């Protein structure tokens, strides 16, 4: 209860709520609103009873049992409670828009007026009974009316505060705070009957008046009302003003009656606070009313501007809402037409990379064509002339057109990445129908549409790239799976292999196959080109290798000829495959091989401790697409000895470049093999690659590189 008696106590509750907005805000706000409401009721009740008591004692010439200041203090408390009540009901209610605010004020006014009228009716019904004559009853009626008036005023006060502070500046907030403190001061000043000099009083009045006047000049919210809202606001404000008038009149009349009978009666109109409050509320109402009234004729312009902004957003956001180019064109056409009140329009999109598109508004394609033909006949550059990058006014040329409905024509280019992709033409039946402002906004629309289209295309490209990357990933996985997991080994030789491909899918292939207990075949191949086709050819090569190698007594030359024949039909123009094919016969201890355009074979002879490239001939698969291939491929045979090595590789190894752009080359490879020949096979391969990486300066070689090394025992 003590909270109610001390309205400032409420501030202490309100603070933490303000800081803790997120938590329990709703519940606590409601609780405070109710508390303030109950508080105001209690205050009012005490106010009425004490006031009646004071008036009663005054009439009877008695000393009142309650101190004479009690009613005034109670009135102050009542005002404070109402202040907080409305602060939470109106000021903090964020969902309210302007008309809602006015509606709230109006509704409060309506309720209070209805209550007041009901009381009046009651008095009227009582007619000639003694009661209405009774001063105490009159005082009661007056108190009710006053309470309603103040309640109404406080509601309006809070609503006006929100309207004034809608577009706030630091300065404005300071002024408002000053105003509120001034009102509190005035309220206290009224209550304790502070005796100030007349000059001070006058000064106070002037300051108060000036502050109210300055505050009332803040009408920015009016600009945001649309036409309909303006009418609603006018009506609501008119009614609000009527209520104010009614209450002021009623309260004034009642207080006069009582004042004549009881000199101790403290009339509301001698209360500076009440006057200031009513004055402020009425002044702002009148100002708002007038400003809205005078703003009515220009509101369509404001609405038009607002619509332009919205259209602008539609164009620029169409990209995010999964729309397509077509919808951008349509939005552009619609927005432009509505922005300039065009009677007809067309939009033509024509660019090399995209198909021709034609959109019209209130116009047939034939009509548009007729206008274009007319302009073309007059040899006028401009409309739909793709080379024009400026907005053109072509109106004067329309005058010469027979039976033309339109008197104004304005054309705007739509550019994407500096290329004019289309033209927007707007038509009007009025002559000189496009003013500067209109041209500017449409040019901006066209610009924005161009940007949106560009974004669409960029996004499409990005999608394509993404798809391509995805495809590559699959191809890479396919390629990896084509390489053997396990290599064929033998008691007479050991074999290791390593293959790595660049970011893109490579076409390196190696494999081994045991034909019988003493014959193993090996292949190393490089498919020209990259990407999915390379992986595809590689898989074909694998199929060819596995099927042809199964034939009895396969000879490398025959293998290559048959492989060439098989590939002729699937290799596209300009594609070929290089390969080396080996048949190792462990019984005869010989190597038979054919080289089809592949990197030369590097052979290490243990007896001499030297490695040499074999001098041989052979053309890549797919280069000679006839039976003539026979002439371009040969089988070579030589024996092997323990410790000898067969070093096979692809051009990725020899063509790997260092930072200066020099290739690793054949000589370095040969030297490396000779140097590492004493190592075991696994280490040798590893160190060979290590040397390669050291040479290039990184282990990211931008090519496919493969090695396969066979060491005989």
Partner 1 sequence: MVHIKRLQEESCDILAVIGEIDASSSIELDLAIAKSVGDGYRRILVDCHALEYISSAGLGVFMSYIEEFKEKGIVMVLFGMSEKVAHTFSILGLSDLLNIVSNKEEAKQRIHELSV
Q: For residue 683, what are the contacts with CB-CB under 8 A and spacing of at least 6?
A: 676
Site string for partner 1, 508-527 (x = CB under 8 A): ------------------x-
Distances, alpha carbon 491 to alpha carbons 359, 488, 495, 624, 712, in Å: 79, 11, 11, 39, 9
Candidate residues 382, 556, 618, 652; the one interacting with partner 1 per rule CB under 8 A: 618
- Based on CB atoms, which residue is closest to partner 1, 544 or 596? 596
User: Taking CB under 8 A as the rule, does residue 574 contact partner 1?
Assistant: yes
Stretch binding partner 1 (CB under 8 A), from 92-100, 255-263, 447-455, 598-606: 598-606
- Based on CB atoms, which residue is closest to partner 1, 334 or 663? 663
Query: In the numeric block, which tokens belong to residue 665?
Result: 């080359």
- Based on CB atoms, which residue is closest to partner 1, 190 or 704? 704
- We find the least distance from the C-beta atom of residue 667 to partner 1, in angstroms, to be 12
Candidate residues 230, 428, 598, 711; the one interacting with partner 1 per rule CB under 8 A: 598
* Rounded CA separation 351/357 (Å): 10
> Residue 130 — φ and ψ, nearest 5°?
-75, -25
Output b/e per residue, 629-662; b: 16+ Cβ within 10 A: beebbbbbeeebeeebbbbbbbbbbbebbeeeee
User: Taking CB under 8 A as the rule, does residue 596 contact partner 1?
Assistant: yes
> Residue 675 — φ and ψ, nearest 5°?
-70, -35
User: Taking CB under 8 A as the rule, does residue 501 contact partner 1?
Assistant: no
Site for partner 1 in 636-665 (CB under 8 A): 651
- We find the least distance from the C-beta atom of residue 665 to partner 1, in angstroms, to be 9
Candidate residues 53, 421, 535, 599; the one interacting with partner 1 per rule CB under 8 A: 599
Stretch binding partner 1 (CB under 8 A), from 237-245, 263-271, 451-459, 573-581: 573-581
User: Taking CB under 8 A as the rule, does residue 576 contact partner 1?
Assistant: yes
- Based on CB atoms, which residue is closest to partner 1, 151 or 528? 528
- Based on CB atoms, which residue is closest to partner 1, 419 or 651? 651
* Rounded CA separation 102/215 (Å): 18
Contact 364, 346 (CB under 8 A): no
What's CA 355's distance to the chain center, in Å? 30
Candidate residues 498, 632, 636, 693; the one interacting with partner 1 per rule CB under 8 A: 632
- We find the least distance from the C-beta atom of residue 563 to partner 1, in angstroms, to be 14
Query: In the numeric block, which tokens belong to residue 292?
Result: 């809205």
Stretch binding partner 1 (CB under 8 A), from 100-108, 233-241, 572-580, 689-697: 572-580
Phi-psi category of 432—alpha, beta or left, where left has phi over 0 and alpha has psi -120 to 50? left
- Based on CB atoms, which residue is closest to partner 1, 359 or 629? 629
Q: How many residues bind partner 1 (CB under 8 A)?
A: 23
* Rounded CA separation 485/494 (Å): 15
User: Taking CB under 8 A as the rule, does residue 561 contact partner 1?
Assistant: no
User: Taking CB under 8 A as the rule, does residue 688 contact partner 1?
Assistant: no
Candidate residues 283, 443, 482, 623; the one interacting with partner 1 per rule CB under 8 A: 623
Q: 496 has which bridge partners?
A: 709
Candidate residues 365, 469, 617, 627; the one interacting with partner 1 per rule CB under 8 A: 617
User: Taking CB under 8 A as the rule, does residue 573 contact partner 1?
Assistant: yes
| Long-range contacts, stretch 276-280, CB < 8 angstroms, 24+ apart | 276/183, 276/186, 276/208, 276/212, 277/150, 277/153, 277/154, 277/157, 277/183, 278/149, 278/153, 278/244, 278/248, 279/209, 279/212, 280/157, 280/160, 280/212, 280/215, 280/216
In the chain, the largest separation of any two C-alpha atoms, in whole Å, equals 147
User: Taking CB under 8 A as the rule, does residue 156 contact partner 1?
Assistant: no
Exposed (0-12), middle (13-18) or buried (19+): which is 250, by Cβ within 10 Å?
buried
Candidate residues 216, 532, 575, 635; the one interacting with partner 1 per rule CB under 8 A: 575
CA angle 201, 203, 208 (to 5 degrees): 95
Query: In the numeric block, which tokens belong to residue 294?
Result: 């005078």
* Rounded CA separation 67/663 (Å): 110
What's CA 19's distance to the chain center, in Å? 30
- We find the least distance from the C-beta atom of residue 574 to partner 1, in angstroms, to be 4
- We find the least distance from the C-beta atom of residue 580 to partner 1, in angstroms, to be 11
- Based on CB atoms, which residue is closest to partner 1, 51 or 526? 526
Residue found under tokens 């491909």? 501
- Based on CB atoms, which residue is closest to partner 1, 86 or 664? 664
Q: 469 has which bridge partners?
A: none
- We find the least distance from the C-beta atom of residue 575 to partner 1, in angstroms, to be 6
- Based on CB atoms, which residue is closest to partner 1, 346 or 629? 629
Candidate residues 448, 532, 619, 685; the one interacting with partner 1 per rule CB under 8 A: 619
For the CA atoms of 561, 567, 572, 574, the dihedral, rounded to the nearest 10 degrees, stands at -30
- Based on CB atoms, which residue is closest to partner 1, 233 or 619? 619
Candidate residues 71, 382, 529, 652; the one interacting with partner 1 per rule CB under 8 A: 529
User: Taking CB under 8 A as the rule, does residue 502 contact partner 1?
Assistant: no
- Based on CB atoms, which residue is closest to partner 1, 205 or 651? 651
Distances, alpha carbon 444 to alpha carbons 332, 336, 384, 447, in Å: 10, 10, 18, 5
For the CA atoms of 315, 319, 323, 325, the dihedral, rounded to the nearest 10 degrees, stands at 70
- Based on CB atoms, which residue is closest to partner 1, 138 or 618? 618
- Based on CB atoms, which residue is closest to partner 1, 158 or 594? 594
Distances, alpha carbon 618 to alpha carbons 40, 603, 624, 625, in Å: 108, 17, 11, 14
- Based on CB atoms, which residue is closest to partner 1, 397 or 476? 476
Candidate residues 288, 578, 635, 685; the one interacting with partner 1 per rule CB under 8 A: 578
User: Taking CB under 8 A as the rule, does residue 625 contact partner 1?
Assistant: yes
Instruction: Enumerate binding residues for partner 1 (CB under 8 A).
Output: 526, 528-530, 573-576, 578, 596-600, 617-620, 623-625, 632, 651
């Amino acid at each position: 209860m003590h909270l109610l008696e001390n309205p400032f106590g409420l501030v202490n509750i309100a603070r933490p709520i303000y800081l803790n907005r997120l938590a329990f805000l709703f519940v606590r706000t409601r609780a405070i609103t109710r508390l303030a409401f109950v508080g105001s009721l209690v205050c009012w009740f005490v106010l009425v009873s004490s006031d009646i008591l004071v008036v009663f004692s005054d009439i009877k010439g008695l000393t009142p049992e309650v101190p004479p200041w009690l009613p005034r203090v109670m009135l102050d408390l009542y005002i404070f409670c109402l202040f907080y009540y409305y602060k939470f009901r109106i000021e903090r209610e964020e969902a309210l828009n302007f008309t809602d605010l006015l509606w709230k004020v109006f509704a409060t006014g309506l309720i209070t007026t209805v209550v007041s009228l009901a009381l009046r009716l009651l008095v009227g019904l009582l007619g000639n009974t003694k009661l209405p004559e009774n001063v105490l009853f009159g005082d009661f009626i007056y108190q009710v009316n006053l309470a309603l008036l103040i309640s109404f005023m406080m509601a309006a006060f809070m609503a006006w505060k929100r309207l004034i502070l809608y577009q706030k500046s630091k300065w404005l907030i300071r002024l408002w705070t000053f105003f509120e403190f001034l009102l509190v001061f005035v309220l206290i000043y009224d209550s304790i009957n502070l005796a100030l000099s007349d000059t001070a009083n006058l000064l106070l009045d002037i300051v108060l008046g000036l502050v109210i006047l300055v505050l009332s000049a803040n009408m920015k919210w009016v600009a945001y009302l649309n036409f309909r809202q303006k009418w609603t606001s006018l009506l609501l404000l008119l009614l609000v003003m009527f209520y104010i008038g009614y209450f002021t009149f009623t309260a004034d009349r009642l207080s006069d009656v009582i004042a004549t009978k009881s000199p101790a009666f403290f009339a509301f109109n001698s209360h500076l606070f009440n006057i200031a409050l009513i004055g402020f509320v009425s002044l702002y109402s009148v100002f708002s009313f007038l400003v809205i009234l005078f703003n009515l004729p220009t509101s369509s312009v404001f609405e038009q501007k607002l619509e332009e902004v919205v259209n602008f957003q539609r164009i620029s956001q169409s990209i995010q809402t999964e729309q397509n180019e077509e919808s951008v064109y349509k939005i552009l056409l619609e927005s432009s037409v509505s922005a300039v009140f065009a009677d007809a329009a067309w939009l033509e999109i024509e660019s090399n990379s995209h198909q021709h598109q034609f959109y019209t508004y209130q116009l047939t394609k034939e009509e548009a064509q007729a206008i274009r033909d007319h302009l073309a006949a007059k040899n006028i550059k401009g409309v739909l002339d793709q080379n024009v990058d400026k907005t053109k006014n072509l109106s004067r040329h329309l005058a010469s057109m027979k039976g033309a409905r339109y008197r104004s024509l304005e054309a705007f280019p739509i550019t994407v990445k500096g290329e004019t992709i289309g033209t927007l033409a707007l038509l009007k039946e009025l002559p000189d129908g496009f003013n500067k402002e209109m041209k500017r906004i449409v040019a901006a629309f066209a610009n924005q549409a161009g940007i949106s289209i560009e974004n669409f295309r960029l996004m499409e490209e990005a999608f394509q790239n993404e798809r391509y990357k995805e495809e590559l990933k699959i191809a890479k996985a396919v390629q990896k799976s084509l390489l053997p997991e396990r290599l064929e080994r033998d008691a007479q030789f050991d074999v290791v292999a390593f293959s790595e491909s660049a970011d893109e899918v490579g076409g390196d292939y190696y494999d081994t196959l045991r034909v019988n207990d003493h014959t193993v075949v090996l292949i190393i191949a490089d498919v020209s080109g990259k990407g999915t086709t390379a992986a595809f050819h590689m898989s074909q090569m694998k199929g060819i290798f596995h099927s042809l190698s199964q034939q009895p007594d396969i000879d490398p030359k025959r293998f290559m000829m048959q492989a060439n024949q098989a590939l002729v039909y699937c290799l596209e123009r300009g594609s070929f495959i290089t390969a080396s094919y080996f048949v190792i016969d462990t019984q005869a201890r010989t190597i038979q091989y054919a080289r089809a355009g592949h990197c030369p074979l590097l052979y290490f002879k243990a007896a001499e401790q030297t490695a040499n490239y074999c001098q041989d001939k052979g053309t890549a698969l797919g280069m000679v697409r006839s039976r003539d291939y026979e002439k371009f491929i040969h089988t070579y045979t030589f024996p092997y000895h323990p410790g000898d090595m067969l070093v096979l590789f692809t051009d990725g190894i020899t063509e790997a470049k260092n930072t200066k752009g020099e290739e690793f080359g054949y000589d370095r490879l040969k030297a490396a093999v000779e140097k590492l020949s004493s190592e075991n096979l696994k280490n040798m391969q590893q160190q060979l690659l290590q040397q390669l990486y050291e040479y290039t300066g990184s282990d990211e070689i931008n090519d496919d590189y493969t090695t396969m090394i066979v060491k005989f025992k």
